[in-house]
Amino acid sequence: MSRLVVVSNRIADPRKTASGGLAVALGQALEATGGLWFGWSGKVVEGGTPGEGELRLQNAGKVQLATVDLSKEDHDSYYLGYSNGVLWPVFHYRLDLADFDAGYIGGYRRVNQMFAHKLKALLKPDDIIWVHDYHMIPLAAELRAMGCKQRMGFFLHIPLPPPLMLAAVPEHDWLMRSLFAYDLVGFQSEADVNHFARYVGTETSADILGEHEFRAFGKTLQVQSFPIGIDVDEFIEVGKGRESQEMYEQMRSEYSRRRLLLGVERLDYSKGLPQRLKAFRQLLQAYPENMGSATLIQIASPSRESVDAYGALLQELESLCGAINGNFGELDWMPVRYIHRNVARKRLPGLYRAASVALVTPLRDGMNLVAKEFVAAQDPDDPGVLVLSRFAGAAAQMRDALLVNPYDTTRTAETMQRALQMPLEERQRRHKALLEGIRKEDVHWWRQRFLAALAAVPTA
């Protein structure tokens, strides 16, 4: 049987805690199959040489981890600059936040070339290579240029924007052409596939062979949607563990007289945090019965803090939380508990379970696994309610959540109120349907569908 080789910028020991949807999902996928996981070590070498980094190999259960360090210069241009200063904002529809510094692309190409070079030395001829996310779009093209003939698939964890927005990236034609070096490209949703098809229809001379098949640059490419899921049973098991139970008990006793609303994410402008806080403020103003009771626990873990847009968001959030607490708080009640840290994964299900309402209200999100984790963590007899942005990839699958437009403060506040007041029977019905959905389309379903489609691609 062929070995699975997974490549992603962020990698994590599958046996340990990871924050970020990609690391969590890939750890779970690789645990099932074994194989090699290749990516950045997370280490930045001050004064290191650009385009060079030490490769380390280590075994983590069934998975072999291969990690490469980055020099400070490469980290700044490839990770902070091009990946998170250009591609992340544009792909999340935020042209206003993109920093089109012409210097970044050199680092992005250089690191992809270095990764390709290091990876090639580890490859076997019949490996199946699965590359992930926007940091690594040109990796297959680099590997092909070095003579690699293996089957290669690519999955984009974030949205693909409409063609005219994509065209704002100065190197868009090179990036999209690079995708044709893969045999299969996967997106989170049909909307993304549609944007891809429209892009190749308008910006390239590709032949559209079918709904999911395109031919350009002498290569045929299959493109499909593969919405990512979570390992529901594993998450339920984590929820039964001691740390999770303790978390649940602690929250229930500390907030016994309150109703908890919960947000958990990386502190990222795609997650709609200021809009959420404004809607929560509106909830308190429009429905004063929530005063002294409704408490928003907002966990926002530090992320990409040296990128300017993230620093600005941190300040905005701190000031909004301070203003809400100052204006509405009482000596014995603070409406917002804002925590700028990670929560240990073993404790997360207990936190989700203690909440009456989860607020998952991104302005744009590839999928959003927090929405699925919240559902998996609930007590089916007395479940909490999921308020979900229609702009999260998850909205296409989770129609039984309360869907909101996070830009619409008044309606989002109304929906929060509806969630807080929802009768038990409706909560149970919605939760049952959501749980069935995330169980059916879980992380194993996602992995198997992608790998089966990759194996089925006819190769030359």
Catalytic residues: 157, 365
The least distance separating ligand ADP from the CB of residue 34, rounded to whole angstroms, comes to 22
Interface contacts to ligand ADP, rule CB under 6 A: 19-22, 24, 264-266, 299, 301, 342-343, 348, 367-370, 373
Nearer to ligand F6P, 111 or 284 (CB): 111
368 binds, among ligand F6P, ligand ADP, none (CB under 5 to 8 A by kind): ligand ADP
At residue 3, the 3 state secondary structure works out as: coil
Question: Site for ligand F6P (CB under 6 A): which residue of 157, 281, 427, 447?
Answer: 157
Q: For 119-145, b where at least 16 C-beta lie within 10 A, e where not — what string?
A: beeebeeebbbbbbbbbbbbbbbbbbe
Sheet (strand 357-360) strand order: 336-339, 294-301, 259-266, 357-360, 385-389, 402-404
Token pair for 148 = 């690699």
Do you know the residue count of the chain? 460
Nearer to ligand ADP, 48 or 227 (CB): 227
The Cα–Cα gap between 381 and 428 comes to 7
The Cα–Cα gap between 273 and 310 comes to 12
133 binds, among ligand ADP, ligand F6P, none (CB under 5 to 8 A by kind): ligand F6P
Tell me, letter by letter, the H, E, C secondary structure of 344-402: CCCCHHHHHHHCCEEEECCCCECCCHHHHHHHHHCCCCCCCEEEEECCEHHHHCCCCCE
Nearer to ligand F6P, 22 or 434 (CB): 22
Residue span binding ligand F6P (CB under 6 A) among the ranges 20-28, 63-71, 416-424, 450-458: 20-28
Quick note: the x/- pattern for ligand F6P over 282-311, rule CB under 6 A, is ---------------------xx-------
Residue span binding ligand F6P (CB under 6 A) among the ranges 19-27, 31-39, 99-107, 286-294: 19-27
Token pair for 372 = 């699925």
Residue recorded with tokens 């959030």: 317
Bridging pattern class, strands 207-210 and 4-10: unpaired
Bridging pattern class, strands 385-389 and 357-360: parallel
The Cα–Cα gap between 308 and 51 comes to 25
Quick note: the x/- pattern for ligand F6P over 250-279, rule CB under 6 A, is ----------------x-------------
Nearer to ligand F6P, 159 or 239 (CB): 159
Helix 369-377 to helix 232-240 angle, to the nearest 10 degrees?
Answer: 50
The least distance separating ligand F6P from the CB of residue 405, rounded to whole angstroms, comes to 22
Residue 133 touches ligand F6P, criterion: CB under 6 A: yes
The least distance separating ligand ADP from the CB of residue 88, rounded to whole angstroms, comes to 10
The least distance separating ligand F6P from the CB of residue 381, rounded to whole angstroms, comes to 33
The least distance separating ligand ADP from the CB of residue 376, rounded to whole angstroms, comes to 11
Residues within the interface to ligand F6P (CB under 6 A): 10, 20-23, 133, 157-158, 266, 303-304
